[in-house]
Structure 1
Amino acid sequence: MISKKSYGVDVAKYQPESLRVYAKAGAKYAIVQVSVSNSIVAPRAKAQITSAKANNIMPMGYFYGCFGHSATQAASEAHFAIKNAKSIGLPKGSYLGVDWERTDNNVNGNVSQNTAAIIQAMKVIRDAGYIPLLYSGADLLRNKINTKQIIKQFGTCLWVASYPVSSRVNTANFNYFPSMDGVAIWQFTDNWHGLSVDGDINVIDLKGTTKKYASKSKWVKKSGTFILGEALKIHTSPHINSPAIAKLQKGSVIKYDATLQGPLRLWLRQPRNNGKYGYVVGKDKYGKKLGKFK
């Protein structure tokens, strides 16, 4: 469980694949965009979910809806989001939100039509074993959606956007909280800690999947030969941003004596002079081999 008044972030393709910087800033959960409409897969979602787990941030998800007031389209988009949520590793029992807003969306239906379409999407999410949320701005929630019907069916499930200021914000100022019934999460800024990421604070306890995901990675003694399939850096430590000892050309051959499966990459350890080591990536964050193992 995530205790109320904890901070979180929501991320999409505009944010990095590694969420470590948000964890260091104090984020306890990350709401990751999994899809757009019923045809677009969020390109960074899998890596972001993986990174959330590696940094002990509770993973959540949402899809950007383009269904407007069509209940049929809403169901289609929700099914597509669920398919992608499963494929990127978002566990059942996690929160999965419907993002319904003005940009790239048809919000011209009447309140009854809009509400019925949103409810249809949320039902599909609930029936699939996820916990539905509804994201929108405070103005739309008040004027274009019957939130009483939403709350009656799904409980406290609103994720509302309302920004007191448009500059960097580190902490939520509850003097500006958009008071309305049914709010679970308040998105209070689009520049939390100056990190160019939306900042959220939950006003209820979040029950989702909060198990400890990260386990300490361990080196496995395993000797072998690796022939580089492309130019790669050999690093001073098994971190992609650590200093490079050298840049090895495609076709270079290294001998390694151990492997480490990190949160994203497979690292190979190369013994060097004076008992020191160099480290090179053998498989990237997508599991792709970057050379030939022998």
Structure 2
Amino acid sequence: TPKNSIVALDFEHGALASVPDGYGGYVSSDAEKAANTETILYGMRRIKQAGYTPMYYSYKPFTLNHVNYQQIIKEFPNSLWIAAYPIDGVSPNPLYAYFPSMDGIGIWQFTSAYIAGGLDGNVDLTGITDSGYTDTNKP
């Protein structure tokens, strides 16, 4: 993997969360959000120290319930890679009505199946996916 290319920290489950949400699940308290966020930042700092471009990958409801994402983008601007789409099924084109409006989004994953048989589909909002692949320095 070329230096400066993206290494994403995937955080979709396993958050510290002890507050019942009223639907059989749990959300994070302020202290738990702080701990979850600090753990994410620790990982992202390590990724950056290793010479790669760190990104936080998740989906909006999980992020809002368990993470202080504003703290992440304060240190790593435009580093959110957020998945948001209406259905699991082939969708070769983004449905912009499902864009997860949040500050700091660098990549939006608009489908889990861009083509039949696999591959997700993403919209690069900042050019971040070029990181590491346009640099003339070799790893």
**TM above 0.5, one fold?**
yes
Answer whether contact 2:33 2:68 (CA < 8 A) is retained. yes
Distance, in Å, in 2 between the alignment partners of 1:176 and 1:170 is 14
Say yes or no: does 1:117 pair with 2:39: yes
Partner of 2:49: 127
Deviation at 1:93, TM superposition (A): 1.1
Match runs of 1:139-150 below 5 Å: 139-150=61-72
Answer whether contact 2:108 2:124 (CA < 8 A) is retained. yes
Q: How many residues align?
A: 121
Say yes or no: does 1:136 pair with 2:47: no
Distance, in Å, in 2 between the alignment partners of 1:152 and 1:211 is 26
Say yes or no: does 1:91 pair with 2:13: no
Distance, in Å, in 1 between the alignment partners of 2:112 and 2:63 is 19
Deviation at 1:205, TM superposition (A): 1.7
Deviation at 1:166, TM superposition (A): 2.0
TM-score by length of 2: 0.80
Q: Deviations over 1:47-72 (max 9, x none)?
A: xxxxxxxxxxxxxxxxxxxxxxxxxx
Deviation at 1:179, TM superposition (A): 0.5
Match runs of 1:14-25 below 5 Å: none
SS where residue 135 of structure 1 aligns?
strand
Letter in 2 for 1:98: L
Distance, in Å, in 1 between the alignment partners of 2:49 and 2:88 is 37
Partner of 1:199: 121
Q: Deviations over 1:223-253 (max 9, x none)?
A: xxxxxxxxxxxxxxxxxxxxxxxxxxxxxxx
Match runs of 1:1-294 below 5 Å: 90-102=1-13, 106-109=14-17, 110-206=32-128, 207-211=130-134
Aligned-residue sequence identity (percent) comes to 35
Over the aligned positions, Cα root-mean-square deviation in angstroms equals: 1.8
SS where residue 150 of structure 1 aligns?
helix
Q: Deviations over 1:64-122 (max 9, x none)?
A: xxxxxxxxxxxxxxxxxxxxxxxxxx0111111101112xxx21241011000000000
Distance, in Å, in 1 between the alignment partners of 2:100 and 2:134 is 31
Partner of 1:223: none
Structure with the larger helix share: 2
Distance, in Å, in 2 between the alignment partners of 1:197 and 1:94 is 19
Letter in 1 for 2:16: N
Partner of 1:82: none
Deviation at 1:165, TM superposition (A): 2.2
SS where residue 193 of structure 1 aligns?
coil
Distance, in Å, in 2 between the alignment partners of 1:209 and 1:92 is 6
Distance, in Å, in 1 between the alignment partners of 2:111 and 2:127 is 20
Distance, in Å, in 1 between the alignment partners of 2:50 and 2:4 is 9
Distance, in Å, in 2 between the alignment partners of 1:198 and 1:130 is 22
* Structure of greater Rg: 1
Deviation at 1:199, TM superposition (A): 1.5
